[in-house]
Amino acid sequence: MSDMETGKFITFEGIEGVGKSTNIRHLVNAIEKAGHAVVTTREPGGTPMAERIRELVAEHGDEPMPDIAELLLVFASRALHINNVIRPALAAGTWVICDRFTDSSRAYQGGGRGVPPENIDRLAEWVHGDLVPDLTILLDAPVETGMERAGRRSDPDRFESEQSDFFQRVRATYLKIAAEHPERFVVVDAARSLDAVKGEIEDIAAALLGKPYNQ
Ligand code: TMP
């Protein structure tokens, strides 16, 4: 399929508190201004059933959550999302901007929980095959900065309840994946001022709209 007919698939990644929502808005504004249709979505979630899986994964349930169950749930949510939202949108020429995708599984379930990367790769191949983001924007900041910005939530979910060393492993895994896939990743230093980060997102948007990243 030619570039004219297919939308671009762009994902945002990062630990909590790095400003994903705000910067997703900046990117979406720039893409819409250029005249493209955009779907903004998130994982886990993005469809009614996938959002129900998100609740299961994030909430403190009545029974222990084995790491493998957590991994399979995020991939079950992803299978729904890919089939029912992402692929149809891309096929219709709509751009898809997604708050988290499989790199979150690699960072959180892989780096954070210690699930072997090959198990995650096998699921990724099974669930999304050749669907790889055209561009992944990793918003990176020290864990302390992210935690401070995220603030202390009154009712933290299962992930937000994790300690600093968990998020250190998540961050390190993100940086490792980004270094291994420079053709797909842009790492943005999100510890800078909001204006500086916004400026870089606008530069990325300009480059993206002028010249596709992955072609
Ligand atoms: P957030 O999008 O509001 O940050 O919350 C989603 C949480 O789910 C976040 O803590 C990361 C976690 N997550 C995983 O552990 N694995 C995944 O594959 C995805 C998409 C999210």
Does the pLDDT at position 7 exceed 90?
A: yes
| Ligand 1 centroid from CA 45, angstroms | 10
Residue owning tokens 């993005």: 46
Ligand 1 mean position, distance from CA 200 (Å)? 24
Q: What pLDDT does residue 91 have? A: 96
Residue nearest atom 18 in ligand 1 by C-alpha distance: 105
Using 50, 70 and 90 to split pLDDT, how confident is the model at 150?
Answer: confident
C-beta 103 within 6 A of ligand 1: no
Question: Is the C-beta atom of 43 inside 6 A of ligand 1?
Answer: yes
Cα(185) to ligand 1 centroid in Å equals 19
Ligand 1 within 6 A of CB of 173: no
102 Cα: distance to centroid of ligand 1 (angstroms): 10
In the predicted structure, residue 1 carries a pLDDT above the cut 80: no
Question: What's the predicted TM-score (pTM) here?
Answer: 0.94
Mean pLDDT of 73-79: 98
Whole-number average pLDDT of the chain: 94
Share of the chain above pLDDT 70, in %: 94
Q: Does position 173 have pLDDT exceeding 90, yes or no?
A: yes
Phi, psi (5° rounding) for residue 11? -115, 150
At 118-145, the pLDDT tens digits run 999 999 999 999 999 999 999 999 999 9
Residue 150 C-beta-side C-alpha neighbours within 13 Å? 24
Phi, psi (rounded to 5 degrees) for 180: -80, -20
The string of pLDDT tens digits covering residues 98-117 is: 999 999 999 999 999 999 99
Q: If pLDDT is split at 50, 70 and 90, which confidence band does 5 have?
A: low
Sequence-ordered list of residues with C-beta below 8 angstroms from that of 120, at least 6 positions apart, any chain: 71, 102, 105, 106, 109, 110
Q: Is it the case that residue 213 has pLDDT exceeding 90?
A: no
Tell me: the pLDDT tens digits for 24-59? 999 999 999 999 999 999 999 999 999 999 999 999
Is any ligand 1 atom within 6 A of the Cβ of residue 140? no
Question: pLDDT-derived band of residue 153, with 50, 70 and 90 as boundaries?
Answer: low
Q: Which residue CA neighbors atom 3 of ligand 1 most closely?
A: 16
Residue 214 confidence (pLDDT) above 50? no
C-beta neighbour count of 65 within 10 angstroms: 14
Go through 197-215 and write b for each residue having 16 or more CB atoms within 10 A of its CB, e for each that does not: bbebbeebbeebeeeebee
| Look-up of token digits 């204006």 | 195
DSSP state of 35: T
- Integer-rounded Cα Rg, in Å, for the chain is 17
- Rounded distance, CA 154 to CA 80, Å? 31
